[in-house]
Amino acid sequence: MFDLTEELQGLAHLYRTRADRGRGAVLGFVGVNSSVGVSTCARAFARLVTPNSRRGVWLFDLDFYANEQYATFSTGQAARLYGGVGLPMDPSLKTQPFWRISPLLVRKNGQKNSSSWYMTLHQIGCHRLFVSRFRAESLRPGQSIHVTKASGYWQRVRDAIDLAVVDIPARDRSRSILAVAADMDG
């Protein structure tokens, strides 16, 4: 893992100034191109601001099939540094989230899995940092995930936590930025 603490201090200061207003924020991290280190920066920023968080920091990884953020925190090295990855939690906040699965999977008992079932949050060690994991392995042939505008969801996130860091794939790999950009605070 890279230590980007020094490089991210200015951004952390700007965030802390905004955080003093008492409402959570949603910050998107996206690169112009793939493979420029934006995921590393998003992860480092989330780690940097977590110690001062009262209500928690959620790190969303919108590269749903790779789950790089979750994979990084799941390594032995990360477990030694930050603690293990906790049990899955529901990040949907009882509202329609920004991800949609279509068609929805129908279980043997006839009930459909909601879109929210496919994404989980996991606490990292005993810190107030939580990282997302998309259950891509649960998708069946013919199912796909769509990222959509969800202003109501992001408002609920702001009300529930101090900060959401959203790691968004570059435009050359995904159209996710087009759906979520308007809901980001920065």
pLDDT tens digits, one per residue of 76-133: 999 999 999 999 999 999 999 999 999 987 778 888 888 998 999 999 999 999 999 9
Domain assignments of the chain as residue spans, ordered by start: 23-183
Nearest to 2 by CA among 57, 41, 36, 59: 41
Cβ atoms of residues 52 and 127 within 8 Å: no
pLDDT tens digits, one per residue of 151-185: 999 999 999 999 999 999 998 889 999 999 999 98
pLDDT tens digits, one per residue of 68-87: 999 999 999 999 999 999 99
CA distance 129 to 133: 13
Cβ atoms of residues 70 and 81 within 8 Å: no
- Is 0.85 topped by the overall pTM? yes
